[in-house]
Structure 1
Amino acid sequence: MNGLSLSELCCLFCCPPCPSRIAAKLAFLPPEPTYTFLPDPEAGPAASGGGWKLHLTERAEFQYSQRELDMTEVFLTRSSRGNRVGCMYIRCAPNSRFTVLFSHGNAVDLGQMSSFYIGLGTRINCNIFSYDYSGYGVSTGKPSEKNLYADIDAAWHALRTRYGISPENIILYGQSIGTVPTVDLASRYECAAVVLHSPLTSGMRVAFPDTKKTYCFDAFPNIEKVSKITSPVLIIHGTEDEVIDFSHGLALFERCPKAVEPLWVEGAGHNDIELYSQYLERLRRFIGQELAVQHG
């Protein structure tokens, strides 16, 4: 998510505020795709959802070693709204108990996120499963709030059926706009845990910080859904976030009955929390100790 310009704010004021319009203006900036899926005859028929290999363009700014390619599996699934959804499964820690279902931020796709996923999964000892939203990367359709929810549903079901991973071993992780599908799914399904990284309370509250209540036309109403989450929730937010104000993380923490000790990163902005040492330390403690005790 990027800050709104004056003209975009004027548009929000002048246009009837319907959810799709707010969503489009606040959230969706699909990059020029940084990867493609190429048919892989060695991996079985592509028609059955398998049989693809990842090809990164130079725009991905990261090229794989063979070892990393071998860790990564890509395939296509279909959402309930008829869109093709590109998925990526990275075996960072083959013997790990947990798989992280990661919903990434705005203006990036799987090609750009893959190197981060490999580094993160290796450091927190988890496998990483991710997907691209409709209109991002190889996923078809247009980005919209309804498609976000259908996209994560398709990813969740693919992770469960294709890899046989049960909900108690899945950690839902959302970053920025990715907290929207994450909160929606977590409010409907129980899982091992939820991580909300630089989350937003709702679309209107990002555009108009003085908004105190949720209107029927608001988009992305995380603040109304977070209280329905039955899994432990770790909220991470930078105190100097210039895109989604720190107050959003605080408000969600207060509304979330299952919240664990949050991580407020002093001085961090919207896109640099991962550079602070306490980020990995808190995730490791949450996953390696707090969840381990809870799950016995």
Structure 2
Amino acid sequence: MGTATSSMAAKFAFFPPNPPSYAVSADQSSGKMEMMISDVIQRRDNVDILKLNTKKGNEIVAMYVKNPSASLTLLYSHGNAADIGQMYHIFSELSLHLNVNLMGYDYSGYGQSSGKPSEQDTYADIEAVHKCLEETYGVKQEDTILYGQSVGSGPTLELAVRLPHLRAVVLHSAILSGLRVMYPVKRTFWFDIYKNIDKIPLIDCPVLVIHGTDDEVVDISHGKQLWELCKEKYEPLWLKGGNHCNLELYPEYLRHLRKFISAIEKLPPRLSPTPTTTELEVEKSRPSTEQKEKGRASTGQREKSRLSTDSRRGSTDRREKSRKSIDRNVKARNSTDLSERARNSFDRFGDMVRSVGLCNVDCLKQAAAEV
């Protein structure tokens, strides 16, 4: 019974796009891997297309977006019913807007990655990607932010519990566990998959939780319980009216992410497994994203004082950064690379997300209802 239920849960969890949205090939002159989307080869000097081998014997496809001014790297695990061909331009825009390097990848059985998707395979997938970041690009775990969207929250938290020096974690429409998406169970069963509810209390770094209030697939109670269980909380983002597939369309989404990453950049690297309480922690009594930016509860810690001072000192810097961002957009519009760089505005970013129509685990509840 347990084995049958486990197999059933795994079947519900994975819905790779069929057919894949892209193809990959090697450029004959340079030997560099290229991605083709809708019969158009995507060529960007700052994007590397990679094939990585996992310990489970699969070959997965990944893309690395380089930002020369970035100090942090985002390792993004996408949601269900998507592949990195669909995420290609979105990843590029996130790298630019958030001022980070970004590594995205396809799970085994997704896109042009070989094998079949399973819980354990996704763990091997993200492990191979993180190893590539360290060995190929020299990215340290203390400069890494793990980002898990929906089903992607599973491999994200599995890796996070094994990285004691990790800088931060972002959970986007995350699940408590696979079984809890379908049934309101009160305890964890051994045959459940992606037991995030049991892993989140073990994460020592700052955690940002993003969830829509009208999520019809993964109820917002999942996000709120994960946030409550975090050791080191950051002000969550509860997007009013947001559902499972459209959070990137809200202006608050990018604003809040940029605010989070800016705060993370001000913190010293996490060189000790033991966390220090910082200004990132917020009072549980004030979880709403509609709250104004009032002074957070005093922790008496050195980091809080430093962040508070930096916040006042950095107001001019933020205005300057905003001005530079506008200048960058203007330069992009005037450059010969207009066709590649014209997506810098938030509106354009939203249009891209809308056109992709990403939906992550709609099939979960539908499949459960048919059992």
For the aligned pair, the TM-score class normalised by the smaller chain equals 0.7 to 0.9
Q: In structure 1, what is the Cα distance between the partners aligned to 2:22 and 2:229?
A: 39
Aligned mate of 1:253, from 216, 221, 227: 227
Alpha-carbon deviation of 1:280? Answer: 0.8
The equivalent residue for 2:38 is 57
- Identify which of 141, 147, 153 aligns with 2:127: 153
1:31–1:108 CA contact under 8 A, matched in 2: no
1:99 deviates by: 1.1
Secondary structure of the equivalent of 1:70? coil
* Unmatched runs of 5 consecutive residues or more in structure 1: 1-13, 45-50
Cα 1:161–1:279 change in 2 (3 A) is same
**Equivalence map 1:1-296=2 (5 Å):** 17-44=4-31, 51-58=32-39, 66=43, 69-91=44-66, 93-190=67-164, 191-208=166-183, 210-288=184-262, 290-295=263-268
- Contact kept? 1:20, 1:219, Cα under 8 Å: no
Question: Could you report, residue by residue, the CA deviation over 1:7-44 in whole angstroms, capped at 9, with x for unpaired residues?
Answer: xxxxxxx9965323202123333431111221124445
Question: Residues 185-216 of structure 1: CA distance to partner in whole angstroms, max 9, x if unpaired?
Answer: 011113111100000001111011x2111111
Which residue pairs with 1:9 in the alignment? none
The answer for the alignment partner of 2:349 in structure 1 is none
Cα 1:42–1:171, aligned 2, differ >3 Å: closer, same or farther?
farther
| Structure 2 unaligned spans of 5+ | 270-371
Give the TM-score, by structure 1 length. Answer: 0.86
Deviation at 1:255, TM superposition (A): 1.1
1:93-146: per-residue Cα shift (whole Å, max 9, x none)? 212101111000111111100111111111111111111000011110001001
Q: What displacement does 1:259 show?
A: 2.1
In structure 2, give the amino acid aligned to 1:174: G
Partner Cα separation in structure 1 for residue 71 and residue 119 of structure 2? 31
Q: What is the identity, as a one-letter code, of the residue corresponding to 1:292? A: E
So what's the TM-score if we normalise by structure 2? 0.69
Shift in alpha-carbon separation, 1:169–1:16, aligned structure 2, 3 A: closer
- Bigger CA radius of gyration: 2
| Aligned-pair identity (%) | 42
Verify the 8 A CA contact 2:2 2:191 in the aligned structure 1. Answer: no
Q: AA paired with 2:214?
A: E
Q: Which residue of 2 aligns with 1:4?
A: none
Does the 8 Å contact 1:17/1:217 carry over to 2? Answer: no
Q: Could you say what the CA RMSD is over the residues aligned between the two structures, in angstroms?
A: 1.8
Q: What amino acid is the match of 2:139?
A: I
Whole-Å Cα distance in 2 between the matches of residues 65 and 52 of structure 1? 10
Alpha-carbon distance in structure 2 between the residues aligned to 1:39 and 1:64: 11
1:256 Cα offset (Å): 1.3
The number of equivalent residue pairs is 268
Whole-Å separation in 1 of the counterparts to 2:171 and 2:29: 38
